[in-house]
Chains A and B, each alone.
Chain A
Amino acid sequence: MMTMVLKGLSALGFIAVSAMFLIWLERKVSAWIQNRLGPMMTGFQGTLQPIADTIKLLLKEDIVPKGVDFLSWWLAPFFVTVPVVMAFLVIPFSSKWIVLDLNVGVLYICSVTSLCVLGIFMAGWGSNNKYSLLGGMRSAAQIISYEVPLLLSVLLVVMQAGTLSMQGIIHAQAHGWFILKPQLALAFLIYFISATAEVNRVPFDIPEAESELVAGYHTEYSGMKFAMFFVAEYTNMFIISAIAATLFLGGWQGPWLPGVVWFLIKAYGLIFVLMWMRWTLPRVRMDQMMSFAWKVLTPIALLNLLVGGWFMLK
């Protein structure tokens, strides 16, 4: 019991440090791609910038806008952050570093992370602001649509591994990563695209499109509540990359280096790809995004499931 509590607390610590590191990395990657320098003044290469930002956000006034639906407005950041933290329960950092290896790990993580949309919609509704409401509604539509191809591609991995446990899936990849199998490589691609949409990142950042919606659902939030949305966003990014690394890239398995290092290399590598995509691609239109989910990804995912399943039976 005690060890589990300690593991949970260290997961919380990891979330905070990882979110800070990712915020710094995002700013640096954007700077590198745009031939700029990025943050340089606080610490070596601006590494202490996220800490300075956190202190700034902590000291800010907590503004309650006029006419908000107080309960839903106040609870929304928690509804967004708590599922993100809960998802860390089953993320396997190495063969031993996992808080609890549930036998329904994949199902648990998929159901928990889809709760985030509730918080986002509450924030949009509660803010009493047209931009927030539009952002929240778009986000709900987007996340629910992209859940379908995402789960269909995860399903294929579960079929291949024959287990829902995260460690079980990693052990099933002992003789070759799942991404190297052709039907699962396509599933990885579908998973990665849908996951990008799940976490509202470019090119699917329609819920928080700056040029149209100010900041989308978190327009009316300031100070620590805004920071909670921010941390949730970046931690979500880590979670989808960690799941992709676990399901398709062999998790913590790898030669020479310890398991946790391999896991973090794979997860942060995928995060780098997400950032790289963000600073390359323009935003798609709402109708383009919805038709891409329902007319391209879902049929391909279904077909992939059918063909992959047929190959497995043979």
Chain B
Amino acid sequence: MLFIYIKRIFVGFYSILKGLKVTFKNIFKKPVTLHYPVVKQPMKERFRGMVDLYPEKCVICYQCIRICPTAALDLGHKVLEDNKTKNITKFTFNAELCCFCGLCEEICPTDAIFLNKMYEVSYFDHKDLLSIDLMSNQKYKHVDGGVS
């Protein structure tokens, strides 16, 4: 009886020491979390972030506008006097309607429209979210480290 009692005390202490060993080893391991706002997690290859555009590549074929299931994109153009060259007058993106399906990226014949790696998609003003000007260079610059 006494022997079992003493043995249980020893087994208890042994298991505590074993647990302490496990946690002590963890102290020297590399942290698995990031120092977030300063260091950011790079997104994976197929991550679908905000819709983005290379304006110089766009041929104004309207494929993206037709395929968009939620009509989140809006494109307008004008034909110049030579009746050949087209110019984009506006190309806006409504982030509130977008379902991030990536169909526009798939259909685009020149890879002008694409989904970038941006994941910090909150805005200070709701209105800014409704018509993001894809032609602008500053479109996603308001978010620190935004990919454009």
Contacts and interface: CB of A to CB of B under 8 A. Distances in A.
A36 B31 contact: yes
Interface string A227-251: 0000000000000000000000000
Contacts of A277: 20
Contacts of A296: 9
A24 to B, nearest CB: 16
Contacts of B29: 35
B61 interface: no
A276 B31 contact: no
B32 A35 contact: yes
Contact of A34 (B16, B26, B38): B26
Interface in A254-296: 276-277, 279-281, 296
Given A37-B33, A37-B35, A277-B20, A32 B26 contact: yes
Interface residues of A, number: 15
B30 to A, nearest CB: 7
B11 interface: no
Contacts of A279: 23
A26 B20 CA distance: 16
A76 B24 CA distance: 37
22 contacts: A29-B27, A32-B26, A33-B23, A33-B26, A33-B27, A34-B26, A35-B26, A35-B31, A35-B33, A36-B31, A36-B32, A37-B31, A37-B33, A37-B34, A40-B38, A276-B20, A276-B23, A276-B24, A280-B16, A280-B19, A281-B16, A281-B19
Interface of A: 29, 31-37, 40, 276-277, 279-281, 296
Interface of B: 9, 16, 19-20, 22-24, 26-27, 29-35, 38
